[in-house]
Structure 1
């Protein structure tokens, strides 16, 4: 009886052979007889792991197939989760400001630099990444970003639209600004 580990290895070998067949552009008229000559079987599914290994070795050594290295599936490839729920609001406002033309660079790197500047008083260097902000720091950065965004929207509306609700809250002004056509 084969274990799940064996089946996984077997499936990876079958996949590698299939990829090799495709990348080497081997058609069935050549492929099936080659399998039968090497292992006595015409189908990969009927082969043992040793037979699959033999076919894969033949693809590599005789035909020059070079399989791609497996993709890394470590946690280092995933973005870390933010420590504060306010981080998503900060990112949303940052992106909105960029789309509205208030920011030249709307990248995550630029946002991280902003967060670091806003938290410099915490430890002299600031918190390097948005996702590292704790709740208190994130709320402080969020309020700072909202005040900055409010100021920019208000200045723009004062120039372009008389009668805009300029003395309102951030949320009201933000909604009004989003619905205004420029």
Structure 2
């Protein structure tokens, strides 16, 4: 039985939002399921793949393209938002919106192999730490006291 189109779309959205390159995505399929494409997965395997993506930080609930998802509730994300707002109020950052912060997040997590992560919720704690330290460095360079 063919995998439902909705499930394939969900997998592709997760791949994109996690910033997985095609090579990384196919490596997961090959290592975990011995498959080359998600269309070869059974429904059970597709659900297992979704759980793998969730363990990597992807949250499928309530995702809509172009709709702000707000800032996560964890300590690191709150600190990032506080630093962002402080730097905006000090005139260091021109746009203090969540959308601008997510663009910054994407640039900070971009590598040669990854297009970058679209939201803080997809970042692992180590990536959030790098974002925090970068914002703190910006503040120090500009003479802004962030405590």
Q: TM-score, normalised by structure 1?
A: 0.40
- Give the number of the structure whose alpha-carbon radius of gyration is greater: 1
Structure with bigger helix share is 1
Q: Which has the higher contact order (CA 8 A, sep 6+)?
A: 2
